[in-house]
Structure 1
Amino acid sequence: MSVAAIQRRSAVLEVRAKGRRLEGYAALFGVRANIAGIEEEIRAGAFASAVAPGQDVLALVDHDPARLLARTRSGTLRLSQDTRGLSFDLDVPDTSEGRDVLALAERGDLGGMSFGFTVPKGGESRANRVRLLEAVTLHEISVVKAWPAYEGTSISARALVGARQAMRLDHARRFLEALS
């Protein structure tokens, strides 16, 4: 699949920065957005395949694969769905990109969250001239520095009090299981 075939959607952020972790919502259910003159809405449960075990979804900056922040495969990005939308929790790396994103989050300068996806066959429908996304294949979520398309998503930076140690233990456990 070509990179050009991947669709991207964005949303406005609410930022509260306090540490080396970002969390919030990358997409909200039931919120309409006007995308190039077409009304679009994401249905509850649309990200079921993204939160299934074994998926590898990336967290990027501005949809740029050269600006990687985290990924589900390594456990540095965690995704889940609830009644509100697709939530994320990511560990910000101690890289120049990570430090830049964190500094912008702390200042409240980030523009929004976004996500890159494709729609599998049967994953969308139309009702009253609105495109309804019922199932999507999620490739990445992105921190957007400028203007997003969807409003209402949120992000906050939080400290990892004790979480780093727990994550290290979990990585060690997975490593030992892989050796068995």
Structure 2
Amino acid sequence: MIERRAMGGVQAEGRTLRGLAIPYDVETRINGGTESIRAGAVTASLAGRDILALVDHDAGKVLGRTRSGTLRLVEEARGVSFEIDLPDTTAARDVLALVERGDAGGMSFGFTTPKGGDEWRGTHRELRAIHLHEISVITSHPAYTSTTVEARIAAAASLDMLRLRLETYR
């Protein structure tokens, strides 16, 4: 069963969404307990796997994918950051408008946990290894409040960039 956690970018002809999709070592409340993702939990999953960027976990609203290079995921000390080259689709234009207005809720990700990939201590679950399937820009509230989304838009007549940064909230 694919699990989902809510969390936070876009570049196609000057449009780029970027931010933090998966924060490492941040505790959050999930289903009556707490959860955190250990640094490096996604490392193996990023190697050679085709990961999608979606809107609200909807496979019918693809924003990008790693196989085509329109989604780029980078593992950093703080977690997994992303950059998405947005297509010229209704879904992508809608997401960009929501991010620009500050209405997007943040980012989320869909994953499965391999056997031995998590450890429970009471009601706290630590994810040590996950198989990442997708990241999603979401319109509701994120589970991990430390994710971010930024929209960068190149003006048609100039190279000046408008930069909006959203800090997600609880």
User: For the superposition of Structure 1 and Structure 2, which TM-score range results when normalised by the shorter chain?
Assistant: 0.7 to 0.9
Structure 2-normalised TM-score?
0.84
Is the counterpart of residue 22 in structure 1 residue 17 in structure 2?
yes
Is the counterpart of residue 8 in structure 1 residue 13 in structure 2?
no
Q: As a proportion of its length, which structure holds more strand?
A: 2
Structure 1 residue runs of 5 or longer lacking an equivalent are 162-180
Bigger CA radius of gyration: 1
Q: What is the root-mean-square deviation of aligned Cα atoms in Å?
A: 1.7
- Secondary structure at the aligned position of 2:45 is classed as coil
Is the counterpart of residue 44 in structure 1 residue 39 in structure 2?
yes
- Residue 110 (structure 1) aligns with: 104
- Residue 90 (structure 2) aligns with: 96
Equivalent residues in 2 for 1:80-95, closer than 5 Å: 80-95=74-89
Per the TM alignment, residue 69 of structure 1 is displaced from its structure 2 partner at its CA by 0.5
Structure 2 residue runs of 5 or longer lacking an equivalent are 156-170
Distance in 2 (CA, whole Å) between partners of 1:90 and 1:74 is: 11
Q: As a proportion of its length, which structure holds more helix?
A: 1
- Secondary structure at the aligned position of 2:93 is classed as helix
Per the TM alignment, residue 128 of structure 1 is displaced from its structure 2 partner at its CA by 5.3
Per the TM alignment, residue 129 of structure 1 is displaced from its structure 2 partner at its CA by 3.6
Is the counterpart of residue 65 in structure 1 residue 59 in structure 2?
yes
Per the TM alignment, residue 62 of structure 1 is displaced from its structure 2 partner at its CA by 0.4
- Secondary structure at the aligned position of 1:151 is classed as coil
Question: How many pairs are equivalent?
Answer: 151
Distance in 1 (CA, whole Å) between partners of 2:45 and 2:29 is: 24
Distance in 2 (CA, whole Å) between partners of 1:80 and 1:151 is: 19
Distance in 2 (CA, whole Å) between partners of 1:61 and 1:49 is: 24
Per the TM alignment, residue 34 of structure 1 is displaced from its structure 2 partner at its CA by 1.1
Identity %: 54
Code of the aligned partner of 2:18? E
Distance in 1 (CA, whole Å) between partners of 2:108 and 2:85 is: 17
Equivalent residues in 2 for 1:132-151, closer than 5 Å: 132-151=126-145
Distance 1:73 1:160, change over 3 A: farther
Per the TM alignment, residue 50 of structure 1 is displaced from its structure 2 partner at its CA by 2.7
Code of the aligned partner of 1:64? D
